[in-house]
Amino acid sequence: MEFGVPPFVIMIVIVCTAGWLINNWIRAKHGYPLEDEWGGKTERTDPAETQRLKAENKALHDKLDAMQDRMIVLEKIVTDRGYSLSAEIDALRDAPALNKERL
CB within 8 Å of 1: residues ≥ 6 apart = 8
Q: What confidence score (pLDDT) does residue 27 get?
A: 80
Q: What confidence score (pLDDT) does residue 59 get?
A: 96
CA proximity to 23, closest of 44, 15, 10: 15
Q: What confidence score (pLDDT) does residue 77 get?
A: 75
Q: What confidence score (pLDDT) does residue 31 get?
A: 73
Q: What confidence score (pLDDT) does residue 52 get?
A: 87
Q: What confidence score (pLDDT) does residue 102 get?
A: 55
Radius of gyration of the chain (CA): 34
pLDDT means over runs of 10, the chain (103 residues): 78 92 84 70 70 92 95 81 68 66 55
Q: How far apart are CA 44 and CA 47, in angstroms?
A: 10
**By three-state DSSP, how is residue 84 classified?**
coil
